[in-house]
Amino acid sequence: MYAILGLLIGVAAGIFLQPTLPAAMQPYLPIAIVAALDACFGGLRAFLEQKFSDRVFTVSFVSNVLIAALIVWIGDLIGVGSQLSTAVVVVLGIRIFTNVAAIRRALFHA
């Protein structure tokens, strides 16, 4: 319940407060979002498999986001930023699909 409340509060804050992101960080936000999605689905999967630990969840979320942004940042520095961001999106996408498949199996046995 708190989780859903938190999500709603975050969306509402984004819409109504209109915070602005520093321009230097803007290229990394999409990648960070994908990483965060991956962490969220991973957390739900762990919960359904009765392995959920809020510490692991927090650490995985933060590290996912930071590492994704870091990879893209380094890629930008060495001139392969767009390729590396594609790679990150592909890998995280595969992980999201795997997680969702596990969640589906746990919830529906299908």
Please report, for the chain, how many H helices and E strands are present, in that order: 4, 0
Residues 62-91 close enough to bind other proteins by CB under 8 A: 76, 79, 81-82
Q: How many residues of this chain interact with other proteins, rule: CB under 8 A?
A: 46
Other CB atoms closer than 10 Å to residue 88's CB: what's the count? 21
CA 4 to chain centre: 16
Instruction: Give the nearer residue to other proteins in terms of CB position, either 36 or 91.
Output: 36
Draw the binding track, 14-53, toward other proteins (x: CB under 8 A; -: no contact).
xx--xx-x-x--xx-xx-xx--xx-xx--x---xx-x-xx
